[in-house]
């Protein structure tokens, strides 16, 4: 059992709000299964990096970095480590109907080296299957989210992750989140603030329990391999 490694990748600029809380609950769930599990928390907004630079070092014939991201910045080391982890939870708030630019940039760098275009060989060269989860909070309610088609916009991210890492990603949406601790300080009265606060008090704890259970069940599943 010992030696399992979990990554939580926070794609929210905030390190103490909805996404972070969901990721912490997820990590706690994993720790509950095995206290020795190593949890590596990455806050993408603390790091200096970009999306794929099209240097194509990962595709060079006889290149030392073939199949690895050869562009050096703050995430380079994390990319290979994440691909060798047992469980990876990606967290991102919805920004304009999609995951944040930082998480998208991280995923471009993570995915692309593992897709190869050698005739007659497997297209995917990720070192191993990885169990992944996406924890995605947003302002909208579930009904509004479905009406707005976010699930269709998010589906390529989930499909690429599954194609490259071999497991279907688990997805937990978290709806109608509290955007501010103190709504009085901001112009936000287009929202029903009382209803949002009620929802936060009554439902967010359930979201955290769900994230905790997800972390727990994903680590348990990794132990059965
Ligand atoms: C730039 C920006 C764009 C946003 N766009 C959306 C959106 O399209 N749909 C939505 O439901 N919420 C949107 N939100 C709200 C966030 O998704 C929501 O507040 C989320 O809970 C923030 O996560 P955090 O608390 O972890 O930072 C947006 C917030 C920001 C700052």
> What pLDDT score was predicted for residue 225?
78
As a whole number of Å, the end-to-end CA separation of the chain is 10
Confidence of residue 2 (pLDDT cuts 50, 70, 90): low
Residue of minimum CA distance from atom 2 in ligand 1:
95
Ligand 1 pocket check: which of 11, 94, 143 to mutate, most ligand atoms within 8 Å of Cβ? Answer: 94
Percent with pLDDT over 90 in the chain: 98
> What pLDDT score was predicted for residue 182?
95
Residue 97, pLDDT > 50, answer yes
> What pLDDT score was predicted for residue 1?
46
How many C-beta atoms lie closer than 10 Å to residue 47's C-beta? Answer: 13
Ligand 1 pocket check: which of 21, 24, 95 to mutate, most ligand atoms within 8 Å of Cβ? Answer: 95
Residue 78, pLDDT > 70, answer yes
> What pLDDT score was predicted for residue 189?
94
Q: Could you tell me if the CB of 183 is within 6 A of ligand 1?
A: no
Q: Could you tell me if the CB of 161 is within 6 A of ligand 1?
A: no
Across 43-51, average pLDDT: 98
Give distance in angstroms: CA of 100 to centre of ligand 1: 9
Across 46-72, average pLDDT: 97
Residue of minimum CA distance from atom 8 in ligand 1:
96
The per-residue pLDDT for range 107-160, each reduced to its tens digit, is 999 999 999 999 999 999 999 999 999 999 999 999 999 999 999 999 999 999
- Provide the token pair at 94: 């919805």
Closest by alpha carbon to 16, among 33, 41, 37, 38?
41
Please tell me whether the overall predicted TM-score, pTM, comes out greater than 0.95 for this model: yes
Phi-psi group of 97: left, alpha or beta (phi > 0 → left; psi -120 to 50 → alpha; rest → beta): left
Q: Is 225 exposed, middle or buried (0-12, 13-18, 19+ CB in 10 A)?
A: exposed
CATH class, range 5-223: alpha beta
């Amino acid at each position: 059992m010992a030696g399992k490694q979990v990554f939580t990748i926070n794609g929210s600029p905030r390190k103490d709000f909805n996404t972070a809380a969901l990721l912490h609950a997820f990590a706690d769930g994993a720790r509950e299964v095995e206290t020795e599990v190593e949890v590596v928390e990455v806050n993408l907004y603390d790091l200096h990096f970009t999306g794929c630079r099209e240097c194509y070092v990962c595709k060079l014939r006889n290149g030392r970095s073939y199949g690895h991201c050869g562009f050096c910045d703050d995430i380079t080391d994390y990319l290979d480590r994440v691909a060798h982890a047992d469980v990876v939870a990606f967290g991102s708030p919805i920004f304009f109907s999609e995951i944040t630019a930082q998480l998208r940039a991280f995923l471009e760098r993570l995915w692309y080296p593992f897709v190869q275009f050698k005739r007659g060989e497997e297209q995917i060269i990720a070192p191993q299957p990885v169990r992944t989860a996406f924890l995605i909070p947003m302002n909208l309610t579930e009904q509004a989210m479905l009406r707005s088609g976010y699930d269709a916009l998010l589906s390529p991210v989930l499909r690429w992750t599954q194609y490259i890492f071999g497991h279907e990603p688990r997805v937990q949406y978290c709806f109608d989140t509290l955007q501010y601790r103190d709504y009085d300080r901001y112009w936000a009265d287009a929202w029903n603030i009382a209803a949002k606060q009620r929802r936060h008090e009554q439902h967010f704890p359930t979201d955290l329990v769900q994230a905790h259970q997800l972390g727990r069940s994903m680590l348990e599943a990794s132990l059965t391999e």
